[in-house]
Structures are given as structure tokens and as C-alpha cells.
Amino acid sequence: MTASYNRLLLLVAGLGGLLYGIDVGIIQGALPYLAATSGFSAGQLSFVVAAVLLGSVISVLFAGLLADWLGRKWLMIGTALMFCISVPMIALSHGFWALVGGRLLQGMSGGLIGVVVPLYLAECLSSKDRGKGTGMFQWLLVFGFVLSSLITLYFSHGLAQMAQHGTAAQLFAFKDRAWRDTFWLSLPVGILFLIGGFIIAESPRWLFRRAGKDAALAALLRSRDREQANIELREMEETVAAERAQASTGRRIRESLLRRKYVIPFILACVILTCNQLTGINSIIPYNTTILLQAGLNDFQAHAGSFFFSIVNFLMTLVAVILVDRTGRKFLLTLGSAGIILSLIGTGILFHRTEARHIDVTASVRRMVGPDQTLMLQFDAATAKRLLADVGGTPSGPTSLVISYAYGDFSSVTNAVRSDDLNEPIHVSRNIPENRIEALLAGSSSPFGNIDAARTAPLRIISAYVTPVPSEANGWLVASTLYLFMAFFAVGPGVCVWLALSELMPTRIRSNGMSVALFLNQGTSTTIAAIFLPTVARHGYASMFFAFAAFTVVYFVTAAFFLPETKGKTLEEIEEHFERPGNSPKPAGAK
């Protein structure tokens, strides 16, 4: 019975991970189609991507409080309901704010899942199964990326077939339907996670503090034999008794992060989770298809490359699940972060080699601005040839165009458009925010500029660059370096970061401490995702990849020199280790 229940826990945890993976990964294949049909600027598209991460930031602020108030079980049920509501909001949306609202709700669901599922697993599984459980969460999380990529690969194949005989209007309608259907197909996973939430029991450690030791023992016996359950129950009693004894002697151990046993693991968890996002993982995943398009692959090849990227993530996460309780968390984090640094540098070098060849056609584009202070430009092979001829150049193959422009205090960047694709014309017009909040959320470069003056200001073309589209071989080289990046991330940070989050925090502050650490994690992720497209449009992909590599060096140093090993230790033993750092934790179950 305990083995069956543990399998059920792993299944429900996996569904939570799958839902989280869909939250983050579903936009990667849908984004090129959304960009082609929505008319959104690069800043708006970046915020559509970042809205899920912003929703996570909002929800993790309250996740710990909600987990302590409602319990772990009922919070998981609530997150599933939020996801199920968000899908029709997104798929039926028309306009920027309706889409952002659905994405925010989806992100709030994901943020709560990121806190409550690892928390629930840490408190329900025994020390020998904890790595496996968290690994299952991460494994099916990345399967969410595979599922999302497979769906969009299907639509990409359909688009390739239609491009052979379809008109521009038909292609536009197909792309609009494709990104909406992508979201509809994610709904069944949310329904399954909702059903699973009603079947599982509440966390024994939450029950011990809220309903007493009998309820906690009953919950423990569902996943352990009686001997192990009694051992862990005694450890819970001893921990609570020690806290009460210290409080009665006036040592003021209120639930604060200022004590040594709290502050050291809290800082470690915050650094690890922040650096986890500074690798660029939550920008590289959603923008993966777009990156491969700019690296030299066509639409179908880019979607296929993105699908293989997800497969690498999925398979290497399985390897990590097998290794995490054998080799330990510290070794995998150190190995993974070192490999990430090398692969990011390789990707940056490949992009720098291409981006150094861009040609400035700003003067020619400025002459195309109409008297109504707008710009309409169909960028195809003939237009590319004409623009390059103005500066004494000739195209040797397909090219891409990016235009940076401004009205008054507000500037924006167009999405990169390739001359060998059948695209709608580039239309630059006043895309002025209605208020300062919208200016900030939509990624405006001057959120506190003069909005009224911008509505009548002339169009200024800041820069326009034509860049040769790299060869297909270059595209697959970039894909290979990204596969290496994903492999090293999956085998180290991908699985171990959730363990670090749930294992390092002492029981009394675990839920709230996880919320603070995840707030930093998701805040960093949101910021990077929101500035990604405008930054690469102005400074190139190479600059972003080199920056990610530099940040990952901090990750490597923290993992290699400051992180303790927690493999095979109960949560109470890990807490004792940080209270008395001169002593190593005892083996699990030792007297």
C-alpha cells in the first residue's frame, strides 16, 4: 500500500511539473505566429512572454502564507483551477491586455506550483525517495516543453505545406489559429492535475503543527513503514520541543530569518535560485524557436530544432533523476554550471561572427517615412537589394531587417523580419502607451516620458540594420551549442535547484522562505524575459549569451565552494547541520 501511494504522489507531482513546464514552454513555438499576426511591438511581445513570469512573481509572494493557511493539498487544487481558467482567457483573447491577463493568471498558477509541489514532496517523501520525487517533478516539467514543442511542430508542418500554394491572407489566418489552438491543447493536463489534487493526502508536517501528531502519523503511514514513521514523528516532536524550550528561556526565536540556522541556508537558496535564472534558461526556452530562426534555420527547421531541444532536456532530466540520489546535489550543480558556461560562450561566439556583418541602412529607411509620420515597408528580396544598393552593397543571400524608432520620449524596436519569408509588411506607427503603468509593463524605454507630446511627435528612425541570414549549417551549430546548454542545465540545476530550495530551508520558515527565494528567482526571470527581444534587437544575441555566461560563473563558485551536500539526510538533520556548522549531518536514521 505504501509503495502504491508513493507512486501516486510521484504521479501527481509529475502532473504539477508538467503543468509548470507548459506554463513556461508553450509560448516558444507559438511566439513566431503571435508576432506575425498580432501587430505587437518587440517590447509588447517580450511582455507577453514575461507575463507568465510576472504572474509567478506575484503569486510566490503569497505562496508561503497560502500554503500555511490552506494547507499544501488545497493550494495545489487551487493552482489547477487557475490554470484551467487561464486557457480560454488566452485562446479567445483579442488585443494586448486580454492576452496579458490570461498569461498573468497562468503565471500565477505556475508560481504557486513551483512553491507548493516541491514543498509538499519534501514533507511527504522519505529521505531516500525525496530526490526521486523532486526529479519526477522536474522530469515531467521538461516533458511539458516536449509536449508544447510537439504541438507547435505539427502546426509548423502544416504551415510549410500551405506556404507552397497559399496566399498571404491564408497564411495569416493559419498562423492566428495555430497559436490559439496551441493553448487549447494544454487544457487536459490542468484537468488531470485538478483530479489528482483531490486524491492525495495532506502533508504530515503541516498536519503535525495544525492537527496534532495523530493526524501526522496517519499521513506518514501512507508513504512509510511504521518504524520510519515513528522515527520522523519523534524528530518532529523534538524539533518543536526544542523551539518551545528556547522560547521559554527568552532566546527570542520567532519565525525570523535572522538566526544563523535560518540565514545561511536562506542566503544559499536565494543565490542558487537567482543564478538559476541568470543562466538565461527562462529566456532561452521560450525564445528558442526565434533564436534558431535568426541563427539561419527556416520555420520548420527551427520548430524541429526546438523540439529536439526539448527532447534533450527531457532525456537528460531522466539521467539527473537517476544520478541525484547517487552522486549528490553538489556534484551535479557544479558539473552543470561549468558546462553551461562553456556552451553559452560557444553560442555567443557563433552569433557574434554573424552580427559583426550587419549593414547600416538607417538613412535609406528614414527616406521612406511618409508625410503622416508612419512607415510601411514590405521587406522582401527586392527591397533588401534596393536598401543595400543605397550603401554600395549587394545581398549574397537572404537577409533580415530590424528597425529601431521613436516618437518623442518613447522608442521601440520592430521584430526581425527575413527577406525570404512571406510576411505582412512592416508597419511602424505611433504605439504610444495610454498611461505610465502601461508604458512600464509594455517594456517602454521611457516609462516616465511625456505621453501627450509623443502622440504628435514626428517619427524618428534611430537605426536600421540589414544582416545576412546565416547559413543552415550555422543554424545547426547554434542548435548544437544550445543542446549542450540544455543538457548541462538539465543534469544539474534543472533537478537540483528544486531540492536546494526545499531541503535547505528549516521547517519553521520553509514555506515563507521558499516564497522569498522564489520571488527573487521569478523576478530575475521576468526582468530578463521582458528585455530580451528589445535588447537583442539593439545589441545582438551575442551580448545576451556572453552576459548569461558571466552570471553563471557566480553559480559555479557558489555550488563548488559554499553549498553543503544534503543527500540522504532528513530535513531535521539538515536543519541541525546549519545550527551547528562545525558538525556534519548524521546519516539518515542514525541515533
Distances (CA, A) of 22 to 75, 185, 475: 19, 10, 26
DSSP-based three-state secondary structure for 449: coil
* pLDDT value of position 580: 60
- Cross-strand partners of 53: none
* pLDDT value of position 488: 95
The vertex-305 CA angle with 19 and 17, nearest 5°, equals: 15
Residue type, 383: T
| Rounded-to-integer distance, Cα 60 and Cα 449, Å | 31
Considering 41-50, 61-70, 519-528, 542-551, the range whose residues carry the highest mean pLDDT is 542-551
Do 298 and 475 touch, CB atoms closer than 8 A?
Answer: no
What DSSP string runs through 134-169? HHHHHHHHHHHHHHHHHHHHHHHHHHHHHHTT--HH
Return the higher-pLDDT residue of 565 and 364. 364
Distances (CA, A) of 218 to 68, 74, 208, 225, 227: 19, 18, 10, 11, 13
Model confidence band, residue 586 (pLDDT cutoffs 50, 70, 90): very low
Question: Residue with C-alpha cell 551535479?
Answer: 332
Least confident range from 99-103, 218-222, 238-242, 465-469: namely: 238-242
* pLDDT value of position 585: 41
Model confidence band, residue 219 (pLDDT cutoffs 50, 70, 90): confident
pLDDT at 34 over 60: yes
* pLDDT value of position 481: 96
Residue type, 241: A
Q: Which residues contact 107 (CB under 8 A, 6 or more apart)?
A: 23, 51, 52, 53, 54, 55, 56, 57, 58, 59
pTM of the model: 0.67
User: Across all residues in the chain, what is the average pLDDT?
Assistant: 79
- Cross-strand partners of 407: 410, 459
| Rounded-to-integer distance, Cα 165 and Cα 248, Å | 81
pLDDT at 119 over 90: no
Model confidence band, residue 127 (pLDDT cutoffs 50, 70, 90): low
pLDDT at 350 over 80: yes
Average pLDDT of the segment spanning 227-243: 76
Do 136 and 84 touch, CB atoms closer than 8 A?
Answer: no
Widest Cα–Cα separation across the chain: 84
Model confidence band, residue 588 (pLDDT cutoffs 50, 70, 90): very low
Model confidence band, residue 130 (pLDDT cutoffs 50, 70, 90): low
* pLDDT value of position 437: 58
What digits encode the pLDDT tens for the residues 522-567? 778 777 877 777 778 778 889 999 999 999 999 999 888 877 776 6
What digits encode the pLDDT tens for the residues 324-340? 777 777 888 899 999 99
Model confidence band, residue 89 (pLDDT cutoffs 50, 70, 90): very high
Can you list the domains of the chain with their CATH numbers?
Answer: 1-591 (1.20.1250.20)
Model confidence band, residue 258 (pLDDT cutoffs 50, 70, 90): low
Neighbours of 583 (CB within 10 A): 9
* pLDDT value of position 255: 46
Residue type, 547: A
Distances (CA, A) of 223 to 2, 227, 325, 416, 565: 5, 12, 18, 53, 25
What digits encode the pLDDT tens for the residues 429-485? 776 666 565 555 544 555 566 777 877 888 888 888 888 888 889 999 999 999 999
Least confident range from 189-203, 361-375, 492-506: namely: 492-506
* pLDDT value of position 247: 57
Model confidence band, residue 128 (pLDDT cutoffs 50, 70, 90): low
